[in-house]
């Protein structure tokens, strides 16, 4: 029989998280700080709207780009929150989670051999999606001493005449880093100078602490060359609904929509109706959850530092990314030993790129009680391995 | 700061001062001082636990009583309300707008005990004109907490990107 598989796909190595997940799920009574999704249930009024839409028999496809009222709400939301002005017809479309939008944007923009700059540590899907779109990933290694921000000098250095797109993943999973208005200024300059495009993954935009998220698309000249990706998973605790969206220039969106139309048809209808309610009446829920996360963030950082771990203060998402170099283990070894000795799961930093070596990702999408329990185990572990 | 502490302890008053300090980013002394001030100012009036007596072997009956009263000169409803809320079995008393005047929530060991309270103590009070008693059959949610939550969020996978 011929080899049934594509070399392109078999060449992609499976996610480092997957491997870890397999070990954890074998284990009885393991507890975890390894989750990348909110611990809150979707607010009831949003769920209720989803249920109502089912009762009303709204069980059909929507138009490819999504429900008109949802696109209008998204437009209104982007203006209200980030000062961005997108036309609901043509500059916004609704996707199956932010993930689909990342994939779609890359496929719509890349030709074979085009280079895409990916700052790491960052979300696991960027690199494989670039490869699947026949692009060439070029990794920038973000540094702890820069608080894992992207520096314009680093960006300049990574650019070649093949470079086409920069993926901008802030607020960042796994580091929790954010980019302030001032940080972004320099990036925007470089992008303009080299005539590049940006895929700005802003899925954690509602989860910043102490300052509001700023979108790079709000800088002069940037809206025309930026795809803003956002969604409902993190801000409204709606991961299982699989709903995201992309905003951007019509010329790119038209092509993304074409891929979406043939590959997906439309995002889940029930989720879209629920999302309309989320955007109309969900601001308080978002604020409530943000406050909760912020308390846990402060609690966790203080506790980690208290037990002697080195940990820079993250101001976004719901992760901290402490350094574990002084314990004489690699990230993988640390995470595995922590799991076998204390039955506590965290994610090794290397799951998010090679430069995550020496770090682990700890999520604070957990109640204070759960955090306390887990921190006890962690403290026992590091005291043993001092 | 005070609002932040109130938000946290309104959900769970058992956090230690250290925990509250960690969560708010303030130091322990500040948290202690703020709490003391709020206790003194009667902003924080107590720290009762939310107990589901149905899961114990102790019988508890809750009743809601609508009370119609005649307000008194110079004192309005306050004097009557006071004479009612002083009774130990009375949990809560609210002055209401609408068709009746006072809502009285009472807890007793048995329906008999509640009935005795209403007939002997409450309805015989001067200025109390009429009462209507409703027994609580089942509590679903109290103080923002669902009494018997069906799931506990354990459906999340243990490790996800």
Per the DSSP assignment, residues forming a β-bridge with A359 are A323
Distance from CA of A382 to the nearest CA of B (A): 21
CB contact under 8 A, A21 and B157: yes
Interface touch A296/B23, C-beta < 8 Å: yes
Which residue from B15, B23, B161 is facing A17, i.e. has the nearest CB?
Answer: B161
Contacts of A21 in chain B (CB under 8 A): 157-160
Measured between CA atoms, the residue of chain B closest to residue A41 is: B153
Task: Give pLDDT tens digits along chain A (386 positions).
Answer: 999 999 999 999 888 787 788 888 888 889 999 999 999 999 999 999 999 999 999 999 999 999 999 999 999 999 999 999 999 999 999 999 999 999 999 999 999 999 999 999 999 999 999 999 999 999 999 999 999 999 999 999 999 999 999 999 999 999 999 999 999 999 999 999 999 999 999 999 999 999 999 999 999 999 999 999 999 999 999 999 999 999 999 999 999 999 999 999 999 999 999 999 999 999 999 999 999 999 999 999 999 999 999 999 999 999 999 999 999 999 999 999 999 999 999 999 999 999 999 999 999 999 999 999 999 999 999 999 98
Q: Which residues of A touch B7 (CB under 8 A)?
A: 291
In chain B, which among 56-75 make CB contacts under 8 A with chain A? none
Q: Do B23 and A32 touch (CB under 8 A)?
A: no
Q: Test A21 with B158 for CB contact under 8 angstroms.
A: yes
Determine if residue A11 is left, alpha or beta; phi over 0 gives left, psi from -120 to 50 gives alpha, anything else beta: alpha
Helical H segments across B1-110, by residue range: 2-11, 17-24, 28-40, 78-85
Map residue B69 onto helix, strand or coil: strand
> In this complex, is the C-beta atom of A351 within 8 Å of any C-beta atom belonging to chain B?
yes
- Binned at pLDDT 50, 70 and 90, residue B5 comes out as very high
Of the partner residues B22, B159, B161, the one whose CB lies closest to the CB of residue A299? B22
Span B132-154, pLDDT tens digits: 999 999 999 988 888 887 766 56
Q: Is B159 on the interface with A (CB under 8 A)?
A: yes
Q: Choose the mutation target among B17, B27, B141, B159 for the interface with A, i.e. most A CBs under 10 Å.
A: B159
| Residue B23 and residue A295 in contact, taking contact as beta carbons nearer than 8 Å | yes
Give me B22's structure tokens: 């960690």
Q: Which of A25, A298, A347 sits opposite B22 (nearest CB)?
A: A298
Contacts A–B by Cβ distance under 8 A: 57
Q: By the CB < 8 Å criterion, does A298 face chain B?
A: yes
Cβ atoms of residues B107 and B87 within 8 Å:
no
By three-state DSSP, how is residue A320 classified?
strand
Residue B6: which pLDDT band, with cuts at 50, 70 and 90? very high
CB of B144 less than 8 A from some CB of A: no
Nearest CA in chain B to A335: B159
CA atoms within 13 A of residue A42's CA, in its CB half-sphere: 22
State pLDDT tens for residues A298-320: 999 999 999 999 999 999 999 99
**B49 at A interface, C-beta within 8 A:** no
Q: Which two tokens stand for residue A113?
A: 């051999």
Interface check for A25 against chain B (CB to CB < 8 A): the answer is yes
pLDDT digits (tens, 9 = 90+) for A87-107: 999 999 999 999 999 999 999
CB contact under 8 A, A35 and B156: yes
3-state secondary structure (DSSP) of residue A95: strand
Task: State residue B151's pLDDT score.
Answer: 66
pLDDT at position B158: 86
**Of how many residues is chain A composed?**
386
Give the residue from A25, A233, A295 with the most B CB atoms within 10 Å of its CB, the best one to mutate. A295
Which pTM does this prediction carry?
0.91
* Tokens coding A332: 């993988």
Instruction: Give per-residue pLDDT as tens, B20-78.
Output: 999 999 999 999 999 999 999 999 999 999 998 888 999 899 999 999 999 888 888 99
Task: Examine the predicted complex and report whether its ipTM is higher than 0.85.
Answer: no
CA distance A39 to chain B (A): 7
All residues of chain A having their beta carbon less than 8 Å from the beta carbon of residue B22 are 298-299, 302-303
In sequence order, the 6+-apart residues with CB closer than 8 A to the CB of B48 are none
DSSP H or E stretch at residue A106: helix A97-109
Cβ of residue B157 closer than 8 Å to a chain A Cβ: yes
């Amino acid at each position: 029989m011929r080899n049934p598989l594509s070399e392109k796909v078999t060449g992609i190595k499976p996610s480092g998280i997957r491997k870890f997940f397999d070990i954890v799920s074998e284990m009885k009574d393991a507890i975890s700080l390894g989750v990348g999704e909110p611990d809150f249930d979707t607010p009831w009024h949003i769920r209720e709207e989803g249920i109502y839409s089912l009762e009303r028999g709204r069980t059909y496809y929507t138009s490819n780009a999504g429900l008109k009222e949802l696109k209008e709400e998204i437009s209104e939301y982007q203006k209200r929150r980030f000062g961005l002005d997108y036309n609901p017809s043509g500059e916004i479309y609704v996707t199956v989670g932010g993930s689909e939008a990342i994939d779609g944007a890359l496929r719509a923009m890349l030709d074979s051999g085009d280079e895409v700059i990916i700052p790491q540590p960052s979300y696991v899907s960027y690199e494989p999606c670039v490869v699947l779109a026949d692009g060439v990933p070029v990794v920038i290694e973000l540094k702890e001493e820069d608080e894992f921000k992207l520096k314009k000098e680093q960006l300049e250095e990574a650019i070649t005449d093949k470079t086409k797109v920069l993926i901008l993943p802030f607020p960042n999973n796994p580091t929790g880093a954010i980019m302030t208005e001032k940080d972004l200024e320099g990036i925007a300059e470089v992008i303009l100078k080299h005539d590049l495009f940006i895929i700005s993954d802003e899925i954690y935009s509602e989860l910043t602490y102490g300052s509001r998220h700023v979108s790079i698309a709000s800088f002069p000249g940037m809206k025309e060359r930026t795809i803003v990706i956002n969604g409902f998973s993190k801000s409204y605790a709606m991961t299982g609904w699989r709903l995201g969206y992309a905003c951007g220039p019509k010329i790119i969106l038209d092509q993304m929509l074409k891929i979406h139309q043939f590959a997906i048809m439309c995002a889940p209808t029930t989720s879209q109706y629920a999302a309309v309610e989320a955007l109309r009446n969900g601001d308080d829920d978002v604020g409530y959850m943000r406050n909760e996360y912020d308390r846990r963030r402060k609690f966790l950082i203080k506790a980690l530092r208290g037990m002697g771990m080195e940990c820079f203060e993250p101001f976004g998402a719901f992760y901290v990314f402490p350094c574990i170099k002084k314990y004489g283990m690699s990230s993988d070894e640390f995470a595995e030993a922590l799991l076998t000795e204390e039955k506590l799961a965290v994610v090794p930093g290397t799951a998010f790129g090679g430069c995550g070596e020496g770090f682990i990702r700890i999520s604070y999408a957990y109640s204070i009680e759960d955090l306390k329990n887990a921190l006890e185990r962690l403290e026992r572990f590091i005291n043993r391995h001092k | 700061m005070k609002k932040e502490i109130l938000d946290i302890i309104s959900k769970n008053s058992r956090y230690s001062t250290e925990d509250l300090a960690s969560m708010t980013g303030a130091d322990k002394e500040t948290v202690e001082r703020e709490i003391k001030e709020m206790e003194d100012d009667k902003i924080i009036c107590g720290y009762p636990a939310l107990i589901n007596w149905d899961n114990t072997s102790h019988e508890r009956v809750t009743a809601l009583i609508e009370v119609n009263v005649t307000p008194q000169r110079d004192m309005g409803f306050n004097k009557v309300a006071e004479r009612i809320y002083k009774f130990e079995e009375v949990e809560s008393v609210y002055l209401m707008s609408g068709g009746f005047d006072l809502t009285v929530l009472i807890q007793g060991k048995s329906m008999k005990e509640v009935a005795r309270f209403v007939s002997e103590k409450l309805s015989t009070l001067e200025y109390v004109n009429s009462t209507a008693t409703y027994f609580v059959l089942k509590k679903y949610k109290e103080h923002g907490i669902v009494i018997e939550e069906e799931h506990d969020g354990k459906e999340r996978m243990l490790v996800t990107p």
